[in-house]
Each structure stands twice: as C-alpha cells, then as structure tokens.
Amino acid sequence: MDPRAELGAFLRTRRAQVDVADTPLAAGASLRRVPGLRREEVAELAAISETYYTRLERGRVGTISAAILDGVVSALHLTDEQRAYVASLVTVVGETGPREGEADLGSLAGQLSGVLDQLTASPAYVLNTACDVVAINPLGRALYAPVLEEPGGGNTLRFIFTDPRAHDFYTDWRSAADEGVQYLRASRARYPEDDAVSAVIAELHGASEEFRRAWDTYEVHYQGSGDRGIRHEQVGELALSFVNLEIPERPGIRITVYSAAGETTAQRLAALAAEVVRSAPSAESAASAQSAE
C-alpha cells in the first residue's frame, strides 16, 4: 500500500476508536450514530484546519511539521509507537533528536548465543526486526522445534500465519498472532528502510488472509511481558510467562526469555531440560567427530 494511503487508513481507524467523552469537547458533544471523533473535532483538538486534516487523512499530504504531528498524536491519543509509525509514513520537518537506525547484528548474534546457553532452565531466543530467530538456547530449540523447522528457517510470524501446526502449538493462537503483527508494525515504524521487515510484510500479506486482517487493524504495540501457552508434543501443555528485553546499543534486537507460570509447568519444563541434556553429545564424542572430519 502507498504510504500516504496507509497513513489515511491508520488515522481513520484511530479516529473511530476515540470516545469524544474522553476529550475536552465532551461538554458540547451531541449524540452520534457512528462511534469516534469527527474530522472537524480532530482538527480542533490538534489546532489545525479541518481542510488540512482532511487532506492528511485522504493521503494528500507528504510533509508535515513536528508540531502538527504532535497535535494529531494528542488528538487521537496515540502512543509513542503509533507516533513513530505515523512519522515513518510522511516526511516530518523539525524533529528533535536522531531517529534510531536500522538494527545491525554484526557479531552480536554469536555473543548472545553464548549468554543464552547459560540459561539452562529457561527457554530463550533472539529475534530481529523481521521476527527471524537469530539465536536460541538448547532448551528454546527443544521448545520451538516446529518453528525452527518451518521452510523459512525460523521466522515466528511465518510459522504463525502459514504453518497449520501453529494453531495447535499455541494454546491462544490469536493472542500470539496479534502480538506478532503489532510488533512487526512497530518495527516498520521504527525502521522504515529495513528491507527484511518490508519483505516479510509483503510475503505474509500475499500468503495469509488472517495476516491481512490482523495487519489492517493498524494496531501498533510492543509488549514487554506477558503470558504464553504452548503445547509441546513431548511434555504436554506449558503455561509460560515471558519478558522481552532490548539492547540499547542494538535497537530492534529483542531477547525473549520464558519462565514457568506454576508448579506443573515448572516440572514439565525441567523434564524437557533434562531430555535436552541427555540428548546433547558429550564433549568426547563431539571431539571425536571433529577429529574424524
């Protein structure tokens, strides 16, 4: 979709979700059949003309000032992530401070792998901006085996939207799907020139009607923590809590660490970890295999 058309669609969905009762216009607002704000109300709250806002919503404005952007953000109650998304679709004049650049892994993946391997009791992995798994510890590999086996080589969103196993793998598939799409849209906002992000959006938009529906909600959100249910073919259903961490020096690289939410899952996760240790090659056999090569 053309960025200006995408901006218009986003603004319309946000406008429809703002209750006039939650704005300074509440006292003089009349009853309405359609929920949300009217264009003239957004314009008044943003301190711009109705004509200008209408042009913005119709995709006829390609450059705006930071002050106007902030006015629209305030009027529509947008989050910082949603502001960044809007800013990625137009040229903003007068921004203060540099925008974050595209994430660059460099040698970071190897360094993180060493750190993750020390987390023997917690599944953990690293995703890039496009939701590719770039590093994962042994317990995470055992937990996420179906994801890593998908044809793309380990993209969580590709697995969710194109692999039939995903609906059984996640106990709440919709929650996992929505979180993934919202993270991808946040990545698009923060790194509009990231080719990997653009490529996976285009791929999934063409391959999955469910992705298209989720993408067209225009939700932009980064979830720092939460709960996730996973069905593992070996140890059964797991109730997990997760936390997402970012590295300030490498924006866009996300570390996800899982922990057990409850005693039953703790026991099952421990059983899976024990199986990982049992199935791992010993140092002697690994050395023998290397010398044989």
> Is 242 within 8 Å of 257 (Cβ atoms)?
yes
The candidate with the shortest Cα–Cα distance to 6, out of 91, 71, 92, 89, is: 89
175 and 195 share one domain = yes
Instruction: Decide: helix, strand or coil at residue 35.
Output: coil
Is it the case that residue 293 has pLDDT exceeding 70?
A: no
Cβ-contact 129, 191 below 8 angstroms: yes
* 253 and 126 fall within a common domain: yes
Residue 101 predicted with pLDDT over 70: no
Note the pLDDT of residue 284.
42
Given a cut of 50, is residue 286 above it in pLDDT?
no
**Does a structural domain hold residue 293?**
no
Query: Please, what is the average pLDDT of the chain?
Result: 82
Retrieve residue 265's tokens: 């899952």
Whether residues 151 and 243 fall in one domain: yes
Per-residue pLDDT tens over the stretch 216-263: 888 777 778 999 999 999 999 999 999 999 877 677 788 999 999 999
The predicted pLDDT at position 24 comes to: 80
pLDDT surpassing 80 at residue 2: no
- Most confidently modeled of 110-114, 139-143, 281-285? 139-143
Supply the CATH number for residue 255's domain: 3.30.450.180
Residue with tokens 């216009």: 25
Q: Does a structural domain hold residue 290?
A: no
The residue ranking higher by pLDDT, 127 or 31, is: 127
Are 91 and 56 in contact by the 8 Å Cβ rule? The answer is no
Strands 91-93 and 63-65: parallel
Q: Are residues 84 and 113 located together in one domain of the fold?
A: no
φ, ψ of residue 250 to 5 degrees: the values are: -130, 70
* Domain at 55, CATH number: 1.10.260.40
Same domain? For 176 and 266 the reply is: yes
Alpha carbon distance 244, 254 (integer Å): 6
Of 92, 120, 141, the position where a domain reaches its end is 92
Rounded CA-CA distance 243/124 in Å is 10
Q: Which two tokens stand for residue 195?
A: 């080719």
> How large a percentage of the chain has pLDDT more than 90?
32
Residues 156 and 263 grouped into a single domain: yes
69 and 42, same structural domain? yes
pTM equals 0.68
Q: Is residue 174 part of a domain?
A: yes
Q: Are residues 123 and 257 in the same domain?
A: yes
Give the domain-ending residue among 92, 111, 133: 92
* Closest listed residue to residue 158, CA positions, set 148, 171, 172, 168: 148
Residues 6+ apart with CB under 8 A from 215: 181, 185, 201, 204, 205
Range of the domain at 194: 103-279
The tally of domains found in the chain comes to 2
The verdict on 124 and 265 lying in the same domain is yes
| Last residue within a domain, chosen from 70, 92, 114 | 92
Q: What phi and psi, each to the nearest 5 degrees, are found at residue 40?
A: -65, -30
Residue 8: CB partners within 8 Å, gap ≥ 6? 56, 57, 58, 59
